[in-house]
Copies of this chain bind each other. A is one copy, B any other.
Amino acid sequence: MDCKHFQQKFNIQFNNEELLKQAFMHTSYVNEHQDDSLKDNERLEFLGDAVLELTVSQHLFRAYPDMSEGELTKFRANVVCEPSLEQFSRELQLSDYLLLGKGEEASGGRERPAILADAFEALMGAIYLDRGFETALNFLEEHIFPDVEPGAFSHVMDYKSQLQEHVQKDGESVEYEIVDEIGPDHNREFIAAVTLNEEKIGTGRGRSKKEAEQDAAKEGLAKLTK
């Protein structure tokens, strides 16, 4: 793990370079070395996950002043999730810095999605601990947030498309129906149902018909893929 290379590349100076190194230390590396001073990156990953939750929330809150809480929550969940974090990790080429055990290395651990995503989270935890919240936020604003827009995450957010893709493998298709509308006019909610072969596989609710259908699709997808 070349701390100097990392710090030059990302223009960030750690007070405690051990924290930076720890962010890339996979548990397989620690297990292989008889050195009690080594710590794996799992606790940093715990902290970094929360750093991401807040920095991403703030970014979305400001960038999308008209999004509802429900939409913001979905959007955040699709940014702070393994496939997205893996993608960020690849863009920053973090795999160059990973410290892995020999077995993990030999079995392709350097390209494993979970290991890449975890290292990204741990790195955010290390930056936060060593340099504070503002530096963590600036790092993401420079390297990650320019990529974060609704279109970029539509593959994860759109449950209707995902459900459709899932069932059409078997040559089937699903149907949606708005089965109820509740609440007063100024605070309407819609209830949607989704059926597959005339069997209901999910229901959902939302402030718009589309939102209710997405919610129903999410439940249907969970049912079919569990």
Contact = CB atoms under 8 A, between A and B. Distances in A.
A48 to B, nearest CB: 9
Contacts of A57: 46-47, 49-50
Interface of A: 27, 31, 42-43, 45-47, 49-51, 53-54, 56-58, 61, 67-69, 72-73, 76, 133, 184, 186-187
Interface of A is mostly: helix
A21 B130 CA distance: 35
Nearest to A132: B133
Contact of A50 (B53, B69, B187): B53
Given A31-B184, A31-B186, A133-B133, A61 B47 contact: yes
Contact of A43 (B27, B46, B61, B133): B61
A69 B53 contact: no
Given A50-B57, A53-B50, A54-B51, A43 B72 contact: yes
A47 B58 contact: yes
A57 B45 CA distance: 11
A50 B67 CA distance: 17
B72 A46 contact: yes
Given A31-B186, A31-B187, A133-B133, A69 B54 contact: no
Nearest to A68: B42
Contacts of A27: 187
Contacts of A72: 43, 46
Which of A47, A50, A61 is most buried by chain B, counting CB atoms within 10 A of its CB?
A50
A126 to B, nearest CB: 12
Nearest to A122: B69
Given A27-B187, A186-B31, A187-B27, A69 B51 contact: no
A68 B39 CA distance: 11
- Between A58, A68, A186, the greatest number of chain B beta carbons within 10 A of the residue's beta carbon is seen for A58
